[in-house]
Structure 1
Amino acid sequence: MRIFRLISRVVVVLLIFLGLQFYIGWNGIQFLDAWFGGVSDVLFWTFYWIVAMSYVISRLLERVLPGRIALWLKWIGSYWFAILQYSVLLLPVADLSVWVLRSASLPKDTSIMIVGTVIIAIYAGILLRGSWNAWNPIVREYTVTVNKRAGDLKQLRIAAASDLHLGTVVGRRYLSLLVDRVNELKPDIVLLPGDVIDDDVEPFKRFDFGSIIKGFKSRFGTYAVLGNHEYIGGKIEEFIALMEKAGIPVLTDETVKIANSFYIVGRKDKAAGSGRFGKKGRLAVRELVEDLDQSLPLIMMDHQPSAISEAADNGIDLSLHGHTHRGQMAPNHFLTRRLFELDWGYLRKGNLHAIVSSGYGTWGPPIRTGSRSEILNITVNFAPLES
């Protein structure tokens, strides 16, 4: 019975997906016919379905297609996801506008040409501005005060970048930019709060990302945790080994005491406890910190910002998160805002300073219209309370 329900849901989702794709294609051929007339249905629909299904084709056939063809199909398909989302929002308005113009006695083809040209201009604006936001990261500054002693440290400068999503779309050049920008900040420590890779570990090896990511320079080194996409990829042990080869420990429900001054607490991602990926669950925050010297600052990385209250209740002083991308493409940020207590930015909760990044890389289309790609530059001042 459970299998039947699962198959039914998959079929329903697939039919909706194909129906939306057909709706976009139908509007496209109406527009081309209005402008040029006599467009070949066979040629149009053949080309259209290759474009519309290019991402799916690239993933299903990537092991048999020539590498460059698979790469281009994935790039096209990634951008098409943005077209798909905004078509769902724009095309019903466009079709209604055509109906209004025709009701005002404007010829059908003229109405379609006018409205269609406006819609294409909007698409172009979204893709251009969204690409700019995605490929031109900003440095987001935060300053917090933790009321604890940290050995001889009076201040700690943290550079953090979540959601790199390294793969075939986010590649070597963009990773090199991250390393250069982070090193310009001269941080004391570099933290990577999950989703370093975009599911598959193979591009990490193929493009030798390890030779670049090991280039971070800081006083206390670089540490990472797992995100949900590492679990989706399924080769966690191999990924951890590649990161450690690059000199970056991946903390999986582990803690590290740095310079006898503060702790880095690295949680497994929430996906570890879902059972979906066949992995053991993760420890509670209480279990992670119970044997630590809590008179020292506790800095935690937890990819998904789903346990901020738990962190606050168990003595964490600073928690760093990613995952949400702040929706990445507007108006998705309205959804992430409802799903998470904090989907982006800063929140003070008791003694906890929680920060959620919109991420450095992108998932799916390299388009950001609801957020910017960002690097976090966090200054932590240590100021113990007077007794």
Structure 2
Amino acid sequence: MKSIVPFIFLTIFLGIITGAVIYLTHRFNWYFSIPYTRMLYPVFAVLALFMMFGVFTTANSVSLAGHIIYILAAMTMGLMLYLLISVILTDILRLFTGFKPLTYGLIVVILTLVINLAGTLNSWNTKVTHHTIPIKGLTQTVRAMHLSDVHLGHFRGKRFLHKLVSKTNAQNPDIVFITGDLFDGRYRLSKKDLQPLTDLNAPVCFIEGNHDKYTGVQTIKNMLRELGIQVLENNMTGFKDLQIIGLNHMAADDQTFNVHTQNGHATIKSTLDKLSPDKSKPTVLLHHSPDGIKYASKHGVDLYLSGHTHAGQLVPIKYIAALMFQFNQGLHHYSGTTMFVSQGAGTFGPPIRLGTISEISLLTLQPEYLQAE
């Protein structure tokens, strides 16, 4: 059953794309009185194919041509999504109004452009969110900065990372946790683009994400180590009172299907069983995706930090993500373990956020007794 799940999703996705092409063709024919409906079918079909294949075939391209294709395809993805939504919203508007077809067409075009512009500006406006989390057994407050899903690549590079470092230093953290997807592709895969990390005024722990794997995870880890970043690979380290566990990106257990991991490899369950962390110590677990919390809880993990979901990144995908992930964004509690899921600092695909924010988070970890006072 697990092996056919990707094909089921692919079939549904292609069905939605096909329906969208037909729907948009008929609407634009009506809006602008195009004499031959068939003329628009190939236009929307080509745009749909370009956005899909352009993004996925050039994500790791390092050539200028590949870079341009990726940017155009990703932007087309955003335009097509909100063009479709704008047409749907305009159809609802038609139930209450009686404008000419051309007026509805102009509303669609303007609404699509405004939504894309607003979403693009929002995605570059990285916010610092603040959360106070009580930790059992902690004897002193620890200010931890959590970064996830930076996605350096075709849209973001050294300048963006420098901005994140400046915002992080401004919060004066004791330690920085980076929970994967530092890279989105190989276009900016260089130590030069990572150089801003050396300006951080606190020690840094890094664990991989699925996009780091696609990009070249060992290359990334080697560069980070050369820059003085502590890379955790299914092992533990310590900081002040904290026991810190860093896991590679993996499925929760052997029974869980995860499109971003490989069957037959280590799982959160098996790795935590092998590491056997000290349950008497206040413990932080770093893993890219918010999976396997029951195994974290079983091993006495107090705080589980992850990202991966982007909180869906875009309306309406954020609502689909909320159904796909048990923990999609923010703080959650499960049987003695606190889970924090970052919405991510960067974006995947179109550089747009709508209904979500780009965030880095200051987590003030306090001794539990302070919360009781």
**TM-score interval for Structure 1 and Structure 2 normalised by the shorter chain:** 0.7 to 0.9
2:224 matches 1:224: no
**CA contact 1:172–1:207 (8 Å) conserved in 2:** no
2:4 matches 1:24: no
Deviates more, 1:4-13 or 1:330-339: 4-13
**CA contact 2:246–2:285 (8 Å) conserved in 1:** yes
TM-score, scaled to structure 2 = 0.82
Unaligned ranges ≥5, structure 1: none
The answer for the alignment partner of 1:133 in structure 2 is 122
Counterpart amino acid of residue 180 in structure 1: S
2:247 to 248, 267, 270: 267
The answer for the alignment partner of 2:179 in structure 1 is 193
2:53 matches 1:56: yes
**CA contact 1:25–1:48 (8 Å) conserved in 2:** no
Q: Secondary structure at the match of 1:56?
A: helix
The answer for the alignment partner of 1:358 in structure 2 is 343
Between the aligned partners of 1:225 and 1:91, the Cα distance in structure 2 is 42
2:201 matches 1:254: no
Deviates more, 1:233-242 or 1:178-187: 233-242
Q: Secondary structure at the match of 1:132?
A: helix
Q: How does 1:59-208 map to 2 (within 5 A)?
A: 60=57, 67-94=63-90, 111-150=100-139, 154-198=140-184, 200=185, 202-206=186-190, 208=192
Q: CA deviation at 1:100?
A: 8.4
Structure with bigger gyration radius: 1
Between the aligned partners of 2:12 and 2:354, the Cα distance in structure 1 is 29
2:327 to 318, 342, 345: 342
Alignment CA distance shift 1:249-1:280 (3 Å): farther
The answer for the alignment partner of 1:240 in structure 2 is 221
Between the aligned partners of 1:163 and 1:7, the Cα distance in structure 2 is 27
Q: CA deviation at 1:140?
A: 0.6
Paired residues, what number? 365
TM-score, scaled to structure 1 = 0.80
Q: CA deviation at 1:82?
A: 1.9
Q: CA deviation at 1:76?
A: 2.2
Q: Secondary structure at the match of 1:53?
A: helix
**CA contact 2:205–2:231 (8 Å) conserved in 1:** yes
User: 1:88-115: CA deviations, max 9, x gaps?
Assistant: 43424545766987xxxx7xxx722111
Deviates more, 1:326-335 or 1:83-92: 83-92
Between the aligned partners of 1:356 and 1:161, the Cα distance in structure 2 is 10
Alignment CA distance shift 1:55-1:179 (3 Å): farther
Counterpart amino acid of residue 180 in structure 2: G
**CA contact 2:158–2:194 (8 Å) conserved in 1:** no
Q: CA RMSD in A?
A: 3.7
Between the aligned partners of 1:43 and 1:85, the Cα distance in structure 2 is 17
Q: CA deviation at 1:250?
A: 2.5
Between the aligned partners of 1:296 and 1:244, the Cα distance in structure 2 is 27
Between the aligned partners of 2:113 and 2:55, the Cα distance in structure 1 is 24
Unaligned ranges ≥5, structure 2: none
**CA contact 1:267–1:282 (8 Å) conserved in 2:** no
Between the aligned partners of 1:267 and 1:88, the Cα distance in structure 2 is 40
Alignment CA distance shift 1:316-1:3 (3 Å): closer
Q: CA deviation at 1:74?
A: 1.8
2:210 matches 1:214: no
**CA contact 2:138–2:366 (8 Å) conserved in 1:** no
Deviates more, 1:351-360 or 1:79-88: 79-88
